[in-house]
């Protein structure tokens, strides 16, 4: 079966994945790297994703740049990091963010169909002009709207008219702006909506986690932008990333879990 992905110039780039090739590795530009510190400090790696084979303290990493699909031995949790070795766009920008979307393909659905995450350090300017701090959202289900409605809201989203009243967890908005950032997540709404989220593909069901991860620019002592993916009941994972006005963060990689 072929999963076809549209390409959105300057926003998201997707690979086409043949399920008949599961179990092979394709198109990886870089092999293993024995220096995680090098990955998160050298600007040539800025925005790229790496898998940490031995967990968060792994002494080596696997850079997933331009990987169409990668074989990974099955384990309960997979750990990744994204290099934050990039420069700010202006002197007023001390932080920015990356959007990470993780879709897990499962024979029997494990967990909620659609969930939201957001780390700490986000703000939201309200309609009355006040600015509210936004709390952490930790893998919370979004149950009050359908997948189609989630996509439709993001298709219409603009900075001036976000229209995201239904995308809340316990009455708290998901979208916002990093405390030290100049870009809000409203600006990636159309990118989020550029691909329909698959519900059933062949004999597989899917769950999709949408994550807003704020980070500081690397000054030599940062740890990148870490995230993890649980694998219970999962056969394949697709990870997509992008960041506003930064093409270095545009990636899509397929992780095949071996028995």
User: Which positions ≥6 away from 159 have C-beta within 8 Å?
Assistant: 184, 186, 187
Written as six digits, the tokens of 88 are 């700010």
CB atoms within 10 A of CB 34: 8
pLDDT in tens, 46-87: 999 999 988 888 888 888 876 767 778 788 999 999 999 999
- Rounded to 5 degrees, φ, ψ at 96 are -145, -165
Task: Say what the pTM is.
Answer: 0.85
For residues 120-142, give the mean pLDDT: 94
Indicate if the pLDDT at residue 222 is higher than 70. Answer: no
State the Cα–Cα distance between residues 70 and 36, nearest whole angstrom.
Answer: 19
pLDDT in tens, 105-127: 988 877 778 999 999 999 999 98
For residues 179-198, give the mean pLDDT: 84
**Are 249 and 82 within 8 A, CB to CB?**
yes
């Amino acid at each position: 079966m072929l999963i076809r992905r549209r390409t959105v110039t300057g926003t998201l780039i997707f690979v086409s994945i043949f399920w008949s090739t599961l179990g092979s590795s394709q198109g990886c530009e870089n092999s293993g790297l024995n220096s995680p510190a090098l990955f998160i400090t050298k600007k040539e790696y800025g925005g790229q994703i790496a898998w940490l084979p031995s967990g968060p303290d792994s002494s080596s990493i696997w850079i997933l740049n331009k990987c169409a699909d990668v074989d990974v031995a099955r384990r309960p949790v997979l750990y990744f990091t994204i290099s934050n070795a990039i420069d700010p766009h202006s002197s007023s920008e001390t932080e920015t963010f990356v959007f990470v979307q993780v879709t897990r393909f499962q024979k029997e659905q494990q967990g909620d169909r659609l969930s939201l995450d957001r780390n700490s350090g986000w703000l939201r300017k309200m309609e009355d002009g006040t600015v509210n701090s936004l709390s952490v959202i930790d893998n919370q289900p979004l149950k009050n709207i359908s997948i189609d409605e989630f996509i439709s809201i993001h298709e219409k989203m603009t900075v001036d008219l976000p229209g995201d009243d239904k995308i809340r967890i316990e009455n708290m908005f998901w979208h916002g702006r990093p405390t030290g950032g100049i870009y809000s997540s409203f600006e990636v709404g159309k990118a989020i909506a550029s691909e329909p989220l698959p519900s059933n593909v062949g004999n597989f069901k899917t769950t999709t986690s949408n994550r807003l991860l704020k980070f500081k620019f690397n000054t030599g002592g940062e740890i990148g932008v870490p995230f993890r993916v649980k694998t219970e009941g999962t056969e394949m994972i697709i990870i997509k990333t992008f960041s506003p006005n930064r093409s270095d963060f545009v990636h899509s990689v397929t992780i095949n879990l071996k028995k």
